[in-house]
Structure 1
Amino acid sequence: MRDCHKNRGGTPPAPQEDTMQNTILIHAPGRRQGRGALVLAYTALFALLMGIWAAIFALNGQSFIQYGDTLKQHYPFLVYYGRWLRQAARCVLTGAAVPTWDFSIGYGADIITTLSYYGLGDPLDLLAAFVPGRWTEQLLEGLIVLRLYLAGLAFMAFSRRHGNSRFGTLLGALAYVFSAWPIQAGLIEPVFLVPMYCFPLMLLGADDLFEGRSPVLYIAAIALTALSNFLFFYMAAMLLVLYAIAVYSKRYGAKNLRTLPPLLAKFIGFALVGIAISAVTLLPTAQELFGSARFGLTRETAPYPFYRFFELLANMTTGMGYDAYSTYAGVTSAAFLGVLVLFAKPRQNTVLKCAWLGLLALLLVPQAGSVLNGISYVSNRWVWAFTMLEAFILARVCPGITAFEPKEKRNLFALLAVYCVVAFCVKQGRTETALLGALLLVLLAVFVLAADGVSRRGVQAVLLAGCCLGVVMNLGGYYGIEEADAVNEYRPAGYAWSTTVQDNPAVTLHLMEDQSYWRYDSLVNEPINSPMLLDVYGTGYFFSLNNSYLSSLFRELEQNTPVEYDYRGLQNRTPLETLFGVKYALCAPDSTGALPALFDSQAVQAAEIGGSTVAVYPNTAALPIGYTAQNQISRETYDALTPLQKQDALLDGVVLEETGLLPEAELTGNTVSPAAEMELDGVQQLDETTYYAPQDGGRITLTIAQPMADCETAFVVQGMQYTATSPLDAMSEEELSAMSAHDRRSLQKQYAHFWRKDSVYLRLLSNIGEGRIEYNRPNSQYYCGRHDFVYNFGTSDEPLQQITIVLPFAGYYQFDRLAVECQKLDTVAARAENLGAENLQNVTLGTNSLGGEITTTRSSVLVVQLPYSTGWSVTVDGTPAQVLRADTAFLGVALEPGSHTVAFTYKTPGLTAGAALSAAGVVLLAAIWAVPALRKKSKKRRK
């Protein structure tokens, strides 16, 4: 076997190790023979277990398409991406511009920054270019299987590089690929499988650098990970740093710090080359990320509940253990047995023991979950690294798993006993699946302790059977209809295409003869993000990155959307339907009463879609995509208005960040907040803004002294905050003593973790309807900094006379303002007509562009209802002009009186620089790969 410590390329020599078993960090490759047999055996067993997984779904009539994020985000992305790739290829072949902006994604969005999180740069997703949209469901399922298979191959390469046996590597690969992370998260979010095969490659590349080998694998692995998903690249990079520190400490120690600078320079320099290769998507996405609603918020990080440690241990042998922090740390009973064997044998594999304890500690510290999740909300989405470590431990200890000294046997027995006692001492851990996993663990432990006379192949057969049985138990326990029944969250084959495209109610819009640019709202059940698949322009959006300016506008208007990257429609707020250019609404013919005011109840189109009739109703006051304002509203004036006054004011002028471009607008709207008398029931008002509900279900009732008719009515909450308390805290000793011991314990159990509540809602009851306002606290992963909300009751035949706010949970509620606002709508149509009198004509929507012609009689600002971005530029009559930010979120340009040709053009911010960096990175990688080979060939010629 070749010397793995040979000094290459100037790397300082490492000191010799005492024993190979003491570290996972020294490169000790096994023999090359048998590699094909190992891959073949893995492939066969993977196919068997994957077939069982698929059979569970098939027997229940389900596909791998989950109703939540898979259907709403990942499936639409892949269908759209395939179409976009084909279009991009045609553009390249014909010399046309490649589209980077799409008007059908939300209110219009950048393609690259919006979709990069979902795999826009992932090489595997390029297969979508060759698959028609109708068959993308099968492609998505196939990619899930392929990524899992590649994860096993990558793990085996890493394991064999570090000297693990072929059989141990095989067991570890199966435990890794079928661990709790892919079982629970891999199907819901297919992109979550990316680090499972990228991270082992990054570690192999790091090993190459330590050994003075070629950095090509290191660079390529970093580029692949960063291209595939920026968030998991961040996690992998953080964990790579920890790995490198451990490797360096073991190889060189503190006495050889002189070796650190050259190694550090290599790691950083070659990492920068890999990052440069990915810059074509990474740089634009980073710029968008730093301005998103989820970035930079101040969040609360609450400690985990006490039982969490025990629950985590109990589920180490299962595919279960769901929590709100994605801590899916379970493997199989065989793999966890490997961990117990590791600790049962002292003075061996010390680094592995420290690594396992260190990562376990990180799983128990919420701050670690926040840091590793991009310094954001707490989530242990890095747990795939923990399961990889456990799988590696199994591979490491497997050859000697039955070889015990008497003391080691006692250690293993004691560890097993302690595990069973500790793991199941709390109710949260005593699930049927966890108990079965523990039973299998005990049986395997008994076998290895008593297997002295069993042949090597006999031991291997039992361990392999135990590993596979554990996988099947985990799959059945999570997906089985008699168990957790997670398979019920998935949908039948063909459902995704049928729901999002074929039987989508929005298909009715394709029958419209109106060829102008317009948006539509939907009052029927329409899948979110489906407009991008039908090339229509809707008012819904659900992707992780969103336009920050649009978020700001929604925040100013206090839209009832606590999650700013997940919104559906404009909540029937009439002025907003007008200002956003919503010209039509989809509605069932028997539900026209739910249409916003100023929508005609006479349908202009109808069709039978999916067994139901869907009709299209016009908005009589919709503004065109480009309209002009002759007056402006100062930012100071606008910010001082209430939310309904703001939407009313936008019909009188345009809000600009610049001052003095237009005369100050005269606000002519009629929005009032009628006086109301407050009555409390089960609620105490502590000061002007704070209310205390000692028990669940407290009520605040507002009675309007002079109700207003013929208006659009909304309930406004501003400055909302919530601190949970336990109802037990408000009960006197006498009340508690009067309860039976059983009832008292039941209440204590019910409210044991009240302080962890991360969201609350307000239930609204009124004489004209009911409503609900959701509020996410700063400790919620969905927190977006929203504390102000408007619930629109719309218009009704009778005025709002009384509204009751039900406080569902005990606690302290803070409201800076609770009010009813009423907006008269009698002048909305006339003011909209005035704004739209001089509008953009002959509008053309081109690739990354919008243009048209307009004639103005006064100095004005053309407002275009597309989200503002620094990537937009504009020319007026061929001369570059300044792009204004109009109404916080839209495009604008100043025009003088006369006839003009206006052209807006979009270029993704950072894309040009990113593409240049990527090209430079590829050239550097090619040079790094080619130069040593050329030098070697040159030396041979001289000889």
Structure 2
Amino acid sequence: HPYFLNPLMYFPLILLGIDHVLEKNKPVLFICSCTLAAYASVYFFYMSSIFVFVYALVRYIFLYGRSEGTIHFVKKFSIGFLSFAFAFLLALPVVIPFARVVLSGNRVGRTVPALWEPLYYIKFPIAFVNASADHYASMGYTVIGLIAVIILFFKTKCTYKLELKIYTILGIVFLVFPFFGHVFNGLGYATNRWTWAFNLLVSVIVVDFAPFFFSLDKKKLAFISLLVLLFALPTFAVRSHGKSSYIAMAVVLMFVCAVFVFLFFYQKQTVLVFSIVAVSIFLSAFCHFSPYFFNYVSQTMLAGSSFETMQNSQYSIFEESKIDVDRQYRLDIADSEACSMGNNAAQNYGLYYNRPNTALYYSTNDGTVRQLLRDFQLPVNSDLYYTGLNGRAFVDAYLGCRYCAVKKDKREYLPFGFEKKLASNENFDLYENETVLPLVFSYSDYMPRGGYQALSSVQKQQAVLQTAFITGTPRLNIKEKTSALIFDDKPLAFAISDISKDIAFDGKLFDVKKGGACVTISVKPDCAGELYLIFDNLYFSNNLRKNWNSARITVKCKGLYRFFDIREKSDQMYSNIHDFIFNLGFIDRAEDDMNIEISFSEKGIYSFDDFSVTCQPVTKIPEYISALTADNISYHYMDGKMYISGDIVSDKILCISAPFQDGSYALIDGKKQKCFCVNNFATGIEVSQGFHEIEVCF
């Protein structure tokens, strides 16, 4: 990935800068390089900061040892620390937003395994030469790199190049234990995306020992050539896959090898050394960077240009139809397939079209968004991306999803309420539902957050359309709600009518012996509404410790297919999500027995605390929306601020359907007031009766 060239440009400058500090007491280069690195990428600057601390400590020991006293160490440390602190202050405009999201979001508090899966350690020695050992341990130093490291440790005295040896040992330790991958990845899932630093170290070792290769006799060079060939054969076998073009590449490479060997017998050893290097580089490219393995340009060429793909996404319908739609409402995406990871909906194309939407992919997410997903038990399997709102009418109404795009042949997947067709293009139809909340609305009363936490997820989605639930203890003049909340969801009795011979069921788990096995339940809905399949505390386990380890549960109901994925604990994207509510669609009347078929893609144990079916009537939504939009409020968002004006009929809590952030405040008619968190997610402001001009600063 070319993005990882970024730290390779700045990190050497940072190391050179710390050398200037340690040897000359000159911090200018260190300050400048750290500041530039932070502005280039806070993510890589974070990694570099850890590495530079380790480097500085080891470097000081080798420069001065015990020859200098404690005062000298404190002086050097102080200069380095103050220089770094000054660079950090210069970079605060980019560091603070990054740190706030990381510390409040999904990355902190993850469970990290003590060791990687066994297969990782089997692949590791091979990966050192010509492949990846999973978890982004992308090394591939070729035989030249392997021999250079072997020479460093086994062909030199213990104290020779000891500094390089210490760095190498530390690097290998960091690669061996997942904890370090977790730390270097910004406290996210454990992965070795920091190997660019280890690659730089091995490159230094290779360059340092390059003269050694030119001093070898013909027998040793022939042995190295044999090693290159031995590593080449399995690479060709694995990568060629029987494709003629790849086999042709392998044949050409072998011919080049033969030519170099022939020249070797008539020329100096220098020819063979360069031939070994050339063949090793070619082999590495064939193995790890060829058009069928992580070549992003090639993938774009095969799939069509990225811009054309984006133009064919759900969002393009707005531009093509040129209809006048309100950008202050969100767009939802219909049907499970359209919201799956890897589809256009998850590629952030909505940002290009400036359309608020519900299917996004971010590597750092706000903690309130994470909480929203869990409160409503939306069927997502990771905190890193959102895949729509499951077509649930209450959630769509609460989050202001006025528009919904659906594939032309998937009209039946439209959520309830989207009846008005606005536009069409070659691939999608766009529908509108006017019975939703705007992004800014008002509550007349509130309840403490504790009452919200005690509700079930089905009850929570109903409750947020009736009153505000306040986090913390802000002093409010608004009255606390005294009347009871209305909940009209109805649990439905069901029975297992058919079960595959490859599934054992004991009431609390499905033991699936073969992937694709299914179970059918029979239920009789006795009301009109949305039909929910609910799993509480659902776990998937197959005792396979793999880099990617998840299972797909597909549900068929009334001829429609929907699915959700659940990750095993060993999966690197595991986010501790185990509660799921899955909307099976709207039933417009009481029906006779209905069959729901549930299939499991992977062999394993699917255990749960509760498994139920519920009917959620939606007839009260218009009444709730009318009450929350009684005030005449207008708003627009610009440059990170929300500008609101309106005539408030009585003292209210103004709710902005955007993630609450600590430190947010509002200027109400010029007077500053702190914002507070509403419903574990949204941003709230207390406003008094009358007309107000409000500026909300996030």
TM-score, normalised via structure 1 length: 0.64
Q: 1:828 aligns with which of 618, 621, 635?
A: 621
Letter in 2 for 1:785: N
* C-alpha deviation, 1:619, in angstroms: 0.4
* C-alpha deviation, 1:846, in angstroms: 3.9
Report if aligned partners of 2:110, 2:189 keep a CA contact under 8 Å in 1. Answer: no
Report if aligned partners of 1:764, 1:772 keep a CA contact under 8 Å in 2. Answer: yes
Q: 1:628 aligns with which of 410, 435, 442?
A: 442
1:263 corresponds to: 76
Distance 1:233 1:432 in 2: 35
1:922 corresponds to: none
* C-alpha deviation, 1:772, in angstroms: 1.8
Q: 1:819 aligns with which of 612, 628, 632?
A: 612
2:49 corresponds to: 237
**SS of the residue aligned with 2:565?**
strand
* C-alpha deviation, 1:848, in angstroms: 3.2
Letter in 2 for 1:327: A
Question: In the TM superposition, what are the counterparts of 1:247-258 in structure 2 within 5 Å?
Answer: 247-254=59-66, 256=68, 258=70
1:374 to 1:861, Cα distance in 2 relative to 1, 3 A: closer
**SS of the residue aligned with 1:708?**
coil
* C-alpha deviation, 1:717, in angstroms: 1.2
**SS of the residue aligned with 2:615?**
strand
Q: Determine if the alignment matches structure 1 residue 287 to structure 2 residue 100.
A: yes
2:198 corresponds to: 386
Report if aligned partners of 1:724, 1:755 keep a CA contact under 8 Å in 2. Answer: no
* C-alpha deviation, 1:556, in angstroms: 0.2
Report if aligned partners of 2:496, 2:520 keep a CA contact under 8 Å in 1. Answer: yes
Structure 2 portions without partners, runs of 5+: 241-245
Higher mean C-alpha displacement, 377-386 vs 867-876: 867-876
2:401 corresponds to: 582
1:893 corresponds to: 685
Distance 2:225 2:283 in 1: 20
* C-alpha deviation, 1:566, in angstroms: 0.9
**SS of the residue aligned with 1:621?**
coil
Distance 1:482 1:568 in 2: 28
1:656 corresponds to: 470
1:257 to 1:696, Cα distance in 2 relative to 1, 3 A: farther
Q: Determine if the alignment matches structure 1 residue 521 to structure 2 residue 332.
A: yes
1:505 to 1:424, Cα distance in 2 relative to 1, 3 A: closer
1:637 corresponds to: 451
1:501 to 1:809, Cα distance in 2 relative to 1, 3 A: closer
Report if aligned partners of 1:572, 1:792 keep a CA contact under 8 Å in 2. Answer: yes
Percent of aligned positions that are identical: 20
1:707 corresponds to: 525
Distance 2:50 2:19 in 1: 16
1:870 to 1:367, Cα distance in 2 relative to 1, 3 A: closer
1:254 to 1:684, Cα distance in 2 relative to 1, 3 A: farther
Distance 1:373 1:847 in 2: 30
Distance 2:553 2:367 in 1: 27
Cα deviation digits, residues 820-860 of structure 1 (max 9, x gap):
1211122222222222222414x343433333333344443
Distance 1:845 1:432 in 2: 51
1:481 to 1:246, Cα distance in 2 relative to 1, 3 A: closer
Report if aligned partners of 1:340, 1:416 keep a CA contact under 8 Å in 2. Answer: no
Q: 1:724 aligns with which of 538, 542, 547?
A: 542
Higher mean C-alpha displacement, 237-246 vs 674-683: 674-683
Report if aligned partners of 2:488, 2:617 keep a CA contact under 8 Å in 1. Answer: yes
Report if aligned partners of 1:713, 1:821 keep a CA contact under 8 Å in 2. Answer: yes
1:532 corresponds to: 351
Q: Determine if the alignment matches structure 1 residue 791 to structure 2 residue 582.
A: yes
**SS of the residue aligned with 1:568?**
coil
Q: Determine if the alignment matches structure 1 residue 297 to structure 2 residue 94.
A: no
Letter in 2 for 1:328: S
Question: In the TM superposition, what are the counterparts of 1:549-560 in structure 2 within 5 Å?
Answer: 549-560=368-379
| More strand, by proportion | 2
Q: Determine if the alignment matches structure 1 residue 507 to structure 2 residue 332.
A: no
Cα deviation digits, residues 55-89 of structure 1 (max 9, x gap):
xxxxxxxxxxxxxxxxxxxxxxxxxxxxxxxxxxx
1:862 to 1:354, Cα distance in 2 relative to 1, 3 A: closer
2:675 corresponds to: 883
Distance 1:683 1:520 in 2: 39
Q: 2:432 aligns with which of 607, 618, 626?
A: 618
Distance 2:487 2:366 in 1: 29
Higher RCO, 1 or 2 (CA under 8 Å, sep at least 6)? 1
Distance 2:513 2:395 in 1: 39
Q: Determine if the alignment matches structure 1 residue 849 to structure 2 residue 680.
A: no
Q: 1:780 aligns with which of 571, 593, 596?
A: 571
Distance 1:443 1:254 in 2: 52
* C-alpha deviation, 1:487, in angstroms: 6.0
**SS of the residue aligned with 2:685?**
strand
Distance 2:424 2:505 in 1: 54
1:227 to 1:240, Cα distance in 2 relative to 1, 3 A: same
Q: Determine if the alignment matches structure 1 residue 672 to structure 2 residue 490.
A: yes
Report if aligned partners of 2:656, 2:682 keep a CA contact under 8 Å in 1. Answer: yes
Letter in 1 for 2:606: Y
1:483 to 1:809, Cα distance in 2 relative to 1, 3 A: closer
1:777 to 1:665, Cα distance in 2 relative to 1, 3 A: farther
TM-score, normalised via structure 2 length: 0.84
Report if aligned partners of 2:107, 2:186 keep a CA contact under 8 Å in 1. Answer: no
Letter in 2 for 1:814: S
**SS of the residue aligned with 2:441?**
strand
1:569 corresponds to: 388
**SS of the residue aligned with 2:386?**
strand
Report if aligned partners of 1:314, 1:429 keep a CA contact under 8 Å in 2. Answer: no
* C-alpha deviation, 1:780, in angstroms: 2.6
Q: Determine if the alignment matches structure 1 residue 330 to structure 2 residue 140.
A: yes
1:773 to 1:568, Cα distance in 2 relative to 1, 3 A: closer
Letter in 1 for 2:684: G
Distance 2:45 2:377 in 1: 35
**SS of the residue aligned with 1:833?**
helix
Q: Determine if the alignment matches structure 1 residue 314 to structure 2 residue 126.
A: yes
Distance 1:657 1:243 in 2: 44
Q: Determine if the alignment matches structure 1 residue 762 to structure 2 residue 553.
A: yes
Cα deviation digits, residues 502-556 of structure 1 (max 9, x gap):
8752433872334573222234775532222222322232121222212211210
Letter in 2 for 1:640: A
Distance 2:429 2:636 in 1: 27
Report if aligned partners of 2:143, 2:227 keep a CA contact under 8 Å in 1. Answer: no
Distance 1:879 1:855 in 2: 17
What's the C-alpha RMSD, in Å, of the aligned pairs? 3.9
* C-alpha deviation, 1:579, in angstroms: 1.3
Cα deviation digits, residues 288-333 of structure 1 (max 9, x gap):
210011222223344331x544533334443xx2343001111344
Letter in 1 for 2:80: F
* C-alpha deviation, 1:222, in angstroms: 1.8
1:73 corresponds to: none
* C-alpha deviation, 1:196, in angstroms: 1.2
* C-alpha deviation, 1:381, in angstroms: 1.2
1:369 corresponds to: 181
1:428 to 1:309, Cα distance in 2 relative to 1, 3 A: farther
Distance 1:665 1:377 in 2: 44
Letter in 2 for 1:393: I
Distance 2:273 2:17 in 1: 31
* C-alpha deviation, 1:462, in angstroms: 5.0
Distance 1:224 1:871 in 2: 27
* Aligned length in residues: 668
Report if aligned partners of 1:580, 1:865 keep a CA contact under 8 Å in 2. Answer: yes
Distance 1:204 1:287 in 2: 30
Report if aligned partners of 2:21, 2:80 keep a CA contact under 8 Å in 1. Answer: yes
Distance 1:694 1:257 in 2: 67
Report if aligned partners of 1:521, 1:538 keep a CA contact under 8 Å in 2. Answer: yes
